[in-house]
Amino acid sequence: MNNPESVSYYPLGDAAVVAVFSETISEQVNHRIRIVGAALDKLENPAILEYVPAFTTITVYYNPISIDFAEVVEQMQRIVAALPAEIHFSFADKVIPVWYEGPDIDEVADYTGLSKQEVVRLHSENEYIVYMIGFAPGFAYLGGMDSRLSTPRKPTPRLKIEPGSVGIAGAQTGIYPIETPGGWQIIGKTPVRLFDTSKEIPSFLAAGDRLRFDPISEAEYLRMKGADYGD
DSSP assignment of 55-111 equals SSEEEEEE-TTT--HHHHHHHHHHHHHTS-SS------EEEEEEB---TTHHHHHHH
pLDDT of residue 137: 85
Per-residue pLDDT tens listing for the chain (231 residues): 455 558 999 999 999 999 999 988 888 888 889 889 889 989 889 999 999 888 899 999 999 999 999 999 999 999 999 887 666 666 788 999 999 999 999 999 999 999 999 999 999 999 999 988 888 888 988 989 999 999 999 999 999 999 999 999 999 999 999 999 999 999 999 999 999 988 888 999 988 899 999 999 999 999 998 666 655
- 93-113 pLDDT, tens digit per residue, is 899 999 999 999 999 999 999
Domain spans, the chain: 8-82, 93-226
Burial zone of 142 (CB within 10 Å; 0-12 exposed, 13-18 middle, 19+ buried): buried
Give the HSE-up count for residue 96: Cα atoms under 13 Å, Cβ half-sphere. Answer: 34
Question: How far is residue 51's CA from residue 74's CA, in Å, rounded to a whole number?
Answer: 16
Q: Which CATH class is domain 8-82?
A: alpha beta
Question: Minimal CA–CA distance to 109: which of 73, 150, 72, 57?
Answer: 150
DSSP characters over 119-188: HHHHHHHS-EEEEEE-SSTTPEEEE---GGG-BPPPSS-EEEE-TTEEEEEBTEEEE--S-EEE-SEEEE
Question: Minimal CA–CA distance to 61: which of 70, 52, 74?
Answer: 52
Domains 8-82 and 93-226 share a fold: no
In whole angstroms, how far apart are CA 159 and each of 31, 137, 178, 191? 35, 17, 13, 21
- 55-80 pLDDT, tens digit per residue, is 899 999 999 999 999 999 999 999 99
Whole-model pTM: value is: 0.79
Q: Which CATH class is domain 93-226?
A: mainly beta
